[in-house]
Amino acid sequence: MGRHDPCRIRRGDRLTKPSLWSVSGQLRLLVVAMLCIVPVVAGSALLTVRSNSRDTARTSLAFSPAIDTTASIRQRMTDANAAWSRTTQTGVDEGAALRASMSEVERLVSLQQQVLRRDVLTRKERATYADLTSRQETAARAWFSWVAERRSQDGLSPAAVLAGADGRMAEFRSVSDELESELVAGRMAARARIAGAFDRLLSMMAALTLLSVVGAYLMWRSIDGSLSAPVARLRQVVARQRGGDNLALADASGGAAEIRALADDFNELTKTNRALVEEQAQVLLMHQLALEVADMVRSVDDIEEALRLVCARLGTGMHADRVLLYTLGDGQEAVEQRVQWHRDDLPPLPPLPPSLMTMVPEVNRELRRDASVFVIRDLLDSTVVRDERAQAFHRATGARSMVMVPVGVGERGLGVLALMTVDIYRRWRRYEIQAAQQCAGYLAQAIAQLRLNEMQGEQMRRLTELDRQKTDFMATVSHELRTPLTSISGYLELLEDGDYGDLSGVQQSALRVIGRNATRLRGLIEDLLVLNKIEASGLESDPEDVLVSEIVRGVSEMLEPVAAAGGVRLVVEQVDPCLQVHVDRIQLERALINLGSNAVKFTPTGGVATISTRREGDSVEIAVADTGIGIPEKDQAKLFDRFFRASNANAQAIPGTGLGLAIVRAIVEGHGGELGFESTEGVGTTMTICLPLVLSAAPRRSRPGNASRATTV
């Protein structure tokens, strides 16, 4: 991928190896002084010390670690053999445990071989132990190879499988026992030599006492050279890193064993920290990529353009060779659209074969059901070759590695997003997969929103067209009904006037019924025409400053005959002569007449209908109240809907069209006012019109004798 390896350190970045001359020089001076002062005693002591040191080193640095490692290897092999026995007998797959055991055995064998190659052993011993460890490694590999072959093949009985494994395990144990015997014998011989040398050293204590002061001094110098100086150099490296040199490493080749181990740990920590910093930088880049995709899809109104932009941004941002996006239709059973992006030097891909195209919805459902993604590092790997679906995709696209992510919102699958490399296999990082999932989520939301917008736009277009057709139909029907209704009314008037001869009482009664229904139909047509005109072109009015008292007086004069005919007492309370509104007189009168007619119509004989006015701040409220049947609470929410009539009005067969209140509200709101009501079933209803006042210094004068009186009919 051409990505920088944080663990790769250039030669120039490593600290220069410190010189060991001072320490070795001091040791040589110590040897020369000892040979000069006490040639015999010092020589004997030196030989004894060297022998003991060599045997001690052989025991602690070679024999004991090798014996412990050999025991660990044997224990690992025993555990692996037990796991294989359980697999053979019970059928439980212990493949993970076997692979872990094999890795651990390889590590331990490598460690054992490193220990037995140390210089503390003689060349002959190293050769002997190298041969034995090689045989031991060969026997272990033979056992694991045999088990691996048996796991992938069938045909042998469990007894034969166990016998074969036990035979190879016996070979391994034989070699391991031989190696351990050699190691134990070597350690025992070394310990024996050490014990004998201890007796000889007791006899030399007197001579060595004299040299203890000199030895102590030399030891201090040795410690200073093997501990103090390396620690100081390590502190220099720490200071360099604090200064910003994150690649500076400590020298792990000089100083005491503890210092070298500390330097190794420090170097590993440095490499790990550098890798973590670079990984965090990559995570941040992936997060920024996801945010860019989110902003991108929100700013695009076209689905195809959004898909194309997302594919291109993902391809460049995640260093992919190809990006494929398949979107599903509303049925989620077929591919609706395919969008692809590829490197400039790659040709576009042809459509997938039908067999693979039908798998896209299936893959989407599978991934969404398991809340997972398909991540394949190498489509040519032996473990992947057996997957027919993966190989079919490889043949169709030429992909070498890929990540496949589902696209969906909630429980609705919308498609599948695939990122691929072509030339080389690739290890897809966890943060890259998460970024792809986030982008798929943003893309799913965008697809769903854009599709919803398209559906809403289409529905709005259809509703608009339907409303226009309805309006045209209502206008046409209303206009066409007026002509025959005019003829009916004219001939009805001629009949009632006797122009066609005298009529009997029954005939006159029938004509009155026809007249009432003709009048009712004329009112319905007029209401329909008014509503249609308001909806088509808005409320067309010719406003002027009008005294409220004049409006109320005119309405009451028109309602008095109707109220008298129904046996309802009409009460008009006193009106402030200064109240003035800027309205279309005819339209406001129509609204009040509709409210007054309803009050009289829905009030039983003997009831009361009241018209009152009052000032509320800069507004005037005109209320029309009655003591009629009221409006049921369940019907009040739909009171101003066209053609809606309260249930109790229908039950009592009270005539009406259900258009009056809709017209009243349109007129009131068209004048900047508000229409409210209060009603209790069986008690009565109060309808209130609230209009802004005209605040003038000189109110218009009304006709005398009418504005301030209270009228009762």
514-545: pLDDT as tens digits: 876 777 677 667 666 666 666 665 566 678 99
Q: Are residues 191 and 318 in the same domain?
A: no
CATH code, domain carrying 192: 1.20.120
Amino acid at 690: C
Whole-number pLDDT of residue 29: 54
Q: For the chain, what is the mean pLDDT?
A: 77
Instruction: Give whole-number Cα distances, 634 to 91, 123, 301, 652, 660, in Å.
Output: 71, 106, 43, 17, 20
Q: Are residues 48 and 170 in the same domain?
A: yes
Question: Is 60 exceeded by the pLDDT of residue 23?
Answer: no
Q: Are residues 320 and 446 in the same domain?
A: yes
For residues 626 and 608, the answer to whether their CB atoms sit within 8 Å is yes
Q: Say which residues have a Cβ less than 8 Å from residue 147's Cβ, sequence separation at least 6.
A: 80, 84, 98, 165
* Residue bearing the bigger pLDDT, 166 or 692: 692
Residue 9 pLDDT level (bands cut at 50, 70, 90)? very low
Cα separation of 403 and 421, whole Å? 9
Share of the chain above pLDDT 90, in %: 4
Which helix (H) or strand (E) segment holds residue 221: the answer is helix 205-223
Cα separation of 404 and 440, whole Å? 10
Cα separation of 271 and 266, whole Å? 9
Tell me which of 436, 451, 466 is where a domain ends: 451
The structure tokens listed for 495 are: 């009949």
Select from 477, 592, 488, 489 the least CA-distant residue to 524.
477
Tens-place pLDDT, residues 640-650? 776 777 777 76
Question: Exposed/middle/buried for 556, CB within 10 Å: 0-12, 13-18, 19+?
Answer: buried
Q: Are residues 166 and 307 in the same domain?
A: no
Residue span of the structural domain in which 408 resides: 283-451
Whole-number pLDDT of residue 689: 92
462 domain residue, yes or no: no
For residues 555 and 598, the answer to whether their CB atoms sit within 8 Å is no
426 domain residue, yes or no: yes
Select from 606, 314, 564, 255 the least CA-distant residue to 438.
314
Select from 471, 406, 414, 461 the least CA-distant residue to 438.
406
Share of the chain above pLDDT 70, in %: 76
Give mean pLDDT, residues 453-458.
76
Whole-number pLDDT of residue 688: 92
Q: Are residues 188 and 304 in the same domain?
A: no
Q: Are residues 149 and 45 in the same domain?
A: yes
Whether the CA torsion 422, 423, 429, 431 is positive or negative: it is negative
Cα separation of 324 and 312, whole Å? 10
Q: Are residues 434 and 553 in the same domain?
A: no
The count of domains in the chain is 3
Ramachandran angles phi, psi of 653, nearest 5°: 55, 35
For residues 340 and 396, the answer to whether their CB atoms sit within 8 Å is no
Q: Are residues 289 and 195 in the same domain?
A: no
DSSP 302: -
* Residue bearing the bigger pLDDT, 353 or 607: 607
Q: Say which residues have a Cβ less than 8 Å from residue 257's Cβ, sequence separation at least 6.
A: none
155 domain residue, yes or no: yes
1 domain residue, yes or no: no
Which helix (H) or strand (E) segment holds residue 288: the answer is helix 257-298
Tens-place pLDDT, residues 388-437? 888 888 888 888 888 888 887 776 777 888 888 988 888 888 888 888 88
251 domain residue, yes or no: no
The structure tokens listed for 54 are: 């060599």
Residue 708 pLDDT level (bands cut at 50, 70, 90)? very low
Select from 52, 32, 40 the least CA-distant residue to 207.
40
Which helix (H) or strand (E) segment holds residue 416: the answer is strand 412-421
Q: Comparing 249-253, 561-565, 681-685, 694-698, which segment has the lowest mean pLDDT?
A: 694-698
For residues 580 and 543, the answer to whether their CB atoms sit within 8 Å is no
CATH code, domain carrying 610: 3.30.565.10
Whole-number pLDDT of residue 210: 66
Extended strands (E) in 274-331: 322-328
Tens-place pLDDT, residues 326-338? 888 766 667 777 8
Give mean pLDDT, residues 504-508.
80
Q: Are residues 558 and 704 in the same domain?
A: yes
29 domain residue, yes or no: yes
* Residue bearing the bigger pLDDT, 75 or 229: 75
The structure tokens listed for 407 are: 């696209």
Question: Is 70 exceeded by the pLDDT of residue 324?
Answer: yes
Whole-number pLDDT of residue 610: 92
Q: Are residues 189 and 299 in the same domain?
A: no
Q: Are residues 325 and 416 in the same domain?
A: yes
* Residue bearing the bigger pLDDT, 522 or 69: 69
Ramachandran angles phi, psi of 281, nearest 5°: -65, -40
Instruction: Give whole-number Cα distances, 144 to 99, 111, 154, 255, 473, in Å.
Output: 9, 19, 17, 41, 88
Select from 431, 405, 453, 458 the least CA-distant residue to 306.
453
Tell me if residue 301 falls in helix, strand or coil. coil
* Residue bearing the bigger pLDDT, 121 or 32: 121
Whole-number pLDDT of residue 19: 37
Whole-number pLDDT of residue 622: 92
Cα separation of 307 and 297, whole Å? 8
For residues 580 and 694, the answer to whether their CB atoms sit within 8 Å is yes
Give mean pLDDT, residues 12-23.
40
* Residue bearing the bigger pLDDT, 554 or 38: 554
Cα separation of 539 and 669, whole Å? 10
Give mean pLDDT, residues 34-45.
61
Q: Say which residues have a Cβ less than 8 Å from residue 437's Cβ, sequence separation at least 6.
A: 373, 405
Q: Comparing 304-313, 567-576, 598-607, 694-703, which segment has the lowest mean pLDDT?
A: 694-703
Cα separation of 144 and 288, whole Å? 47
103 domain residue, yes or no: yes
Q: Are residues 42 and 165 in the same domain?
A: yes
Whole-number pLDDT of residue 710: 39
Cα separation of 31 and 38, whole Å? 11
213 domain residue, yes or no: no
For residues 422 and 322, the answer to whether their CB atoms sit within 8 Å is yes
CATH code, domain carrying 388: 3.30.450.40
Tell me which of 162, 179, 203 is where a domain ends: 203
Question: Is 60 exceeded by the pLDDT of residue 155?
Answer: no
Tell me which of 417, 451, 485 is where a domain ends: 451
The structure tokens listed for 514 are: 């026809």
Cα separation of 240 and 711, whole Å? 104
Give mean pLDDT, residues 221-249.
75
Cα separation of 101 and 419, whole Å? 35
Whole-number pLDDT of residue 204: 64
Question: Are β-strands 608-616 and 569-572 bridged in parallel, bridged antiparallel, or unpaired?
Answer: parallel
